[in-house]
Chain A
Amino acid sequence: MIGFVARRLLAALPTLLAVLTLVFLIVRVIPGDPALVILGDQATPEAAAALRGRLGLDRPLLTQYLDFLYSALTGDFGRSLVTSRPILEEVTAVLPHTLDLTIASMVIGVVVGIPAGIAAALHRNGFIDVAARLLSLIGLSFPVFVSGIFLLLAFALHWRIFPVIGNADLADPLDRLHKMALPAATLGLVMAAYVTRVTRSAMLQSLSEDYIRTARAKGVPWRRVVWVHGLRNASIPVVTVVGLYVGILIGNSVLTEIVFNRPGLGKIIVGALNQRDYTMLQGLMVIYCFLIVVVNLVTDLLYGVLDPRVKA
């Protein structure tokens, strides 16, 4: 197992390096001088040159690149242009809110999606299957800001069950849950739609395999066949989709945080865009990429746990 983990860690390094290179390139290759973009209407040639100096953009590209890689890999993501505070500090201040939301949405997505997908596969073309397919089609067609606004209108403004604003007191767990309910439902239900689809088709695939017929012929109870033999073999595509979905969840959380006025990474990124906080954007992109690489790594490791053949 340790060898497998070490191999996976090593394999993640080139990806991380490539992703960092892409972040570096995106910010520099895209036409437009960042100094002029940041200064906007007040850009004089002198001010632009001064800002380029401050950002280090007047140095040779290779020096900038090596410097960027070194700081990113040592955990130094720079300082915000607007507040001058270290980016990591700004991010860790709101991270609990983002983690709350992400984890709660994943729980809803998995807890609703996997059973729904299994039920649909077991009743193929029956009422449950048709309903699950239709609901998941509608679910994955909803942009999250639209479903968020609809939930807000229904449950916060019409029925007044949940609060309109989601800035929770982190010390109070009940308050955290209460304020998280609607945003987490918004993100979680869309995710459940994806998970239902993938679970259904993976289960249909795995239930049609020969080993399922063999298990049934041996007299293994149907319940055990489904949950042990069927689900375990269907779990790899499901885990893949849940892992890939983290990227979508990160994007969608930006929209959810706007709708429910919650603090979080998404709010910071939109703030940085509006204030043209260029170093903040670059730092956030790097942090997002680290997150994605870590999630991919965890997904890979889970494959090894679920399917011993992967480790070979």
Chain B
Amino acid sequence: MSGAVLPARRVGAVSRAIRKALANPTTLIGALICLAIALAAIFAPWLAPFDPTEQNIIDRLASPGGDYLLGTDQFGRDVLSRLLWGARISLVVSLGAISAAAVVGGTIGMVSGYIGGRFDLFTMQVMDVLLSFPSLILGLIVVALLGPELENLVFAIALTAVAPFARIARAPTLALKERAFVEGGRALGFSHTRVLFRHILPNILPEVMVMASLWLATAVRVEASLSFIGLGVKPPTATWGGMTRDGFENILDAPWLAIAPGVAILLLVLGLNMVGDGLRDATDPKLRAE
């Protein structure tokens, strides 16, 4: 019967973990960095002083300062405006990819652990194989074959992250399915779907969420790397990785061009890592006792 009250208690555990994590100054700084970047992305149309794709050849490669706070690129486009708009691509791609990977991978892991037996063995073998691919290479090839569109980037990055989510969801499911409240639910005639999603899912949610916060950082890095290689969302759309590439190609004439987007990527990944670490520590039973 305890199963019926568990979901509410577990959701409480999630918000408790977030509160506990934010009490740690490192996590708080990370959360503030992420919040600032998210706000910049949301309000980009109002914050950006110029149109991010508007070319102004007379002012090309202008140094930072004056009309253009962070200078202009080789087409005379305002770097600050492109940076603000570029935050949208980074956030949309990484959030989309990791949500998809968490839902698909989490479901695969949970169902696989719940069913067990040969099915479980086979599924986990497939996941192990996916894990053995270098993720950047896998992403590279998938995007190259599908074409550099936003949704293909999301798909490629999600594909590289499915296996870790399946693993993290499977392990606790194996233990949970033997527990009295799950067996009780089955004895009461609840369907497998109901047991899985109402009784097991709430219990594995904290682990999956911690994993998601850590993988968001990786997703931002992979998206930026693909854009840097030239497989990101197509120009003239501003992406941080693409901007770094433009800066790199003009590194002798305008070294600042590569620095601004590079620092932006670093800050977002750092912020996400700080939040992820904090959440992990707050939910780790070994550290909770300390």
Chain A nearest Cβ from B279, distance in angstroms = 14
| A149 close to B229 (CB less than 8 A) | no
> In the complex, what residues of A have CB within 8 A of residue B225's CB?
143-145, 251, 255
Is A138 in contact with chain B by the CB < 8 A criterion? yes
Count residues on chain A whose CB falls below 8 Å from chain B CBs. Answer: 46
Give Cα distance in the complex from A228 to B140, angstroms: 43
| A141 close to B266 (CB less than 8 A) | yes
> In the complex, what residues of A have CB within 8 A of residue B228's CB?
143, 145, 255, 258
- Select one of B137, B231, B255 contacting A153, CB under 8 A: B255
| A289 close to B274 (CB less than 8 A) | no
Is A247 in contact with chain B by the CB < 8 A criterion? yes
Give Cα distance in the complex from A18 to B128, angstroms: 9
Is A107 in contact with chain B by the CB < 8 A criterion? no
> In the complex, what residues of B have CB within 8 A of residue A152's CB?
251
> In the complex, what residues of A have CB within 8 A of residue B87's CB?
none
Chain A nearest Cβ from B89, distance in angstroms = 15
Give Cα distance in the complex from A146 to B125, angstroms: 35
Is B38 in contact with chain A by the CB < 8 A criterion? no
| A292 close to B132 (CB less than 8 A) | yes
- Select one of A140, A157, A251, A270 contacting B255, CB under 8 A: A157
Instruction: Provide the B241-267 mask, 1 if CB < 8 A to any CB of A, else 0.
Output: 100100110011001001100100110
Interface of B is mostly: helix
Is B130 in contact with chain A by the CB < 8 A criterion? yes
Give Cα distance in the complex from A11 to B217, angstroms: 34
Which B residue sits closest to A153, measured CB to CB?
Answer: B255
| A247 close to B133 (CB less than 8 A) | yes
Is B57 in contact with chain A by the CB < 8 A criterion? no
Is B195 in contact with chain A by the CB < 8 A criterion? no
- Select one of B132, B135, B145, B241 contacting A37, CB under 8 A: B145
| A146 close to B244 (CB less than 8 A) | yes
Give Cα distance in the complex from A32 to B141, angstroms: 13
Is B273 in contact with chain A by the CB < 8 A criterion? yes
Is B66 in contact with chain A by the CB < 8 A criterion? no
| B251 close to A146 (CB less than 8 A) | no
Chain A nearest Cβ from B62, distance in angstroms = 19
| A149 close to B270 (CB less than 8 A) | no
A-B contact count (CB 8 A): 126
Chain A nearest Cβ from B228, distance in angstroms = 5
Instruction: Provide the A131-169 mask, 1 if CB < 8 A to any CB of B, else 0.
Output: 000000110111111100110110001000000000000
Q: Which of A196-248 contact B (CB under 8 A)?
A: 247-248
> In the complex, what residues of A have CB within 8 A of residue B134's CB?
247-248, 250-251, 288, 292
Is A15 in contact with chain B by the CB < 8 A criterion? yes
| A15 close to B128 (CB less than 8 A) | yes
Give Cα distance in the complex from A292 to B221, angstroms: 22
Which A residue sits closest to B255, measured CB to CB?
Answer: A153
Chain B nearest Cβ from A172, distance in angstroms = 26
> In the complex, what residues of B have CB within 8 A of residue A171's CB?
none
> In the complex, what residues of B have CB within 8 A of residue A293's CB?
132
Is B48 in contact with chain A by the CB < 8 A criterion? no
Chain A nearest Cβ from B241, distance in angstroms = 8
| B130 close to A251 (CB less than 8 A) | no
| B273 close to A149 (CB less than 8 A) | no
Q: Which of A263-302 contact B (CB under 8 A)?
A: 269-270, 273-274, 281, 285, 288-289, 292-293, 296
Give Cα distance in the complex from A258 to B229, angstroms: 8
| B132 close to A143 (CB less than 8 A) | no
| A150 close to B262 (CB less than 8 A) | yes
Give Cα distance in the complex from A69 to B65, angstroms: 59
Which B residue sits closest to A17, measured CB to CB?
Answer: B129
Which A residue sits closest to B273, measured CB to CB?
Answer: A141
> In the complex, what residues of B have CB within 8 A of residue A255's CB?
136, 225, 228-229
Q: A15-B129, A149-B251 are in contact. Are A141 and B217 (CB under 8 A)?
A: yes
> In the complex, what residues of B have CB within 8 A of residue A137's CB?
270, 273-274, 277
Q: A30-B142, A149-B262, A281-B141 are in contact. Are A19 and B132 (CB under 8 A)?
A: yes
Chain B nearest Cβ from A136, distance in angstroms = 10
Which B residue sits closest to A145, measured CB to CB?
Answer: B228
Instruction: Provide the A19-44 mask, 1 if CB < 8 A to any CB of B, else 0.
Output: 10010001100111010010000000
> Considering residues A27, A137, A146, A251, which has the most beta carbons from chain B within 10 angstroms of its beta carbon?
A146
**Other A-B pairs beyond A18-B125, A150-B259, 7, CB < 8 Å:** A32-B147, A37-B145, A140-B273, A144-B225, A145-B241, A146-B265, A149-B251
The 9 closest A-B pairs by CB, nearest first: A251-B136, A141-B270, A146-B262, A251-B134, A247-B134, A141-B269, A273-B144, A18-B129, A250-B134
List 30 A–B pairs whose Cβ atoms lie within 8 Å, in order of A's numbering: A15-B128, A18-B125, A18-B128, A26-B145, A32-B147, A34-B145, A37-B145, A143-B225, A143-B265, A145-B228, A145-B244, A146-B262, A146-B265, A146-B266, A149-B247, A149-B262, A153-B258, A153-B259, A157-B252, A247-B133, A247-B135, A248-B134, A254-B140, A255-B225, A255-B229, A269-B140, A270-B229, A288-B133, A292-B132, A293-B132
